[in-house]
Amino acid sequence: MNTYDRLISGYREFKKNYLGDENREWLKVAGERQDPKVMMVACSDSRVHPAILTRSALGELFMVRNVANVVPPFEKDDAEGTYHGTSAAIEFAVNNLHVEHIIIMGHSGCGGIEALMDQSVTGENSDFSFIRPWMKIVEQANEFNEREVTTMSKKSRVCVCEQRAILISLNNLVTFPWVRDAIKEGKLQLHAWYFDIKSGNLSEYDRDSESFVEIK
Ligand SMILES: [Zn+2]
């Protein structure tokens, strides 16, 4: 079976089993409106699928997936041709859906971070790229001092860069006034996750130890 036919076959199986038998009761409510409690910002990477790795059902996760799970800072920008898809989704999630949690999930082996680190999209000489200005949002994640460069392996630096980028996005979230307000009112919690693809281990950022701690 080719790749496309496999998708169609998967859909038929979903329609018959998931909608037909396993979730009949839930579907009665789902037709009305969505009421997710969680927004997740994840990477577009095909190996990191939030609904699959949290076993979430339809209606549970309000999703944004973009290159390297980046959240830009709050910017009032009326310039024609400037678009803020991720910011619009955050606004809708907090102001209209009143989600209780926003999770930013990064991962190992992230192509966006790799591009940032090897300058392939941020370098002066590269051709036009949409990825370049996008990854610049988290370019501070790639700032390593001399000691770090000499003592850390490339692999460790990639991991550190991926995790720092998640935290930059987490800090950017708080620059949105309605996010800040919801947190102050105790209605919203922010979380940072890091998924290691090879081991399948998921870690959560712990503010006390200022590190990502594996969820057991
Ligand atoms: Zn990625």
Longest Cα–Cα distance of the chain, Å, equals 59
**Ligand 1: centre distance to CA 14 (Å):** 27
Q: What is the pLDDT of residue 1?
A: 84
**Ligand 1: centre distance to CA 5 (Å):** 26
**Ligand 1: centre distance to CA 70 (Å):** 10
**Ligand 1: centre distance to CA 30 (Å):** 30
Q: Which residue has the higher pLDDT, 182 or 119?
A: 182
Q: In what order do the strands lie in the sheet with 201-206?
A: 61-66, 38-43, 101-107, 189-196, 201-206, 211-214
Q: Distance between CA 206 and CA 214 in Å, rounded? A: 10
pLDDT-derived band at 53 (thresholds 50, 70, 90) equals very high
**Ligand 1: centre distance to CA 104 (Å):** 12
* Residue type for position 141: A
Q: What is the pLDDT of residue 89?
A: 97
**Ligand 1: centre distance to CA 116 (Å):** 11
Across 53-65, average pLDDT: 93
pTM of the model: 0.92
**Ligand 1: centre distance to CA 115 (Å):** 10
| Element housing 178 (H / E) | helix 177-184
Q: Distance between CA 213 and CA 48 in Å, rounded? A: 18
**CATH numbers and ranges of domains, the chain:** 1-32 (no CATH), 34-214 (3.40.1050.10)
Listed range (7-11, 122-126, 152-156) with the worst mean pLDDT: 122-126
**Ligand 1: centre distance to CA 106 (Å):** 7
Q: What is the pLDDT of residue 118?
A: 86
Name residue 202's beta-bridge partners: 195
pLDDT tens digits, residue range 172-197?
999 999 999 999 999 999 999 999 99
**Ligand 1: centre distance to CA 133 (Å):** 16
Q: Is the pLDDT of residue 134 over 80?
A: yes
Q: Is the pLDDT of residue 62 over 60?
A: yes
**Ligand 1: centre distance to CA 49 (Å):** 11
Name residue 189's beta-bridge partners: 101
pLDDT tens digits, residue range 78-108?
655 578 899 999 999 999 999 999 999 999 9
Instruction: Tell me if 101 sits within 8 A of 70, measured CB to CB.
Output: no
* Residue type for position 181: D
Which residue in 184, 117, 190 sits closest to 157, CA to CA?
A: 117
**Ligand 1: centre distance to CA 45 (Å):** 5
**Ligand 1: centre distance to CA 42 (Å):** 8
**Ligand 1: centre distance to CA 39 (Å):** 18
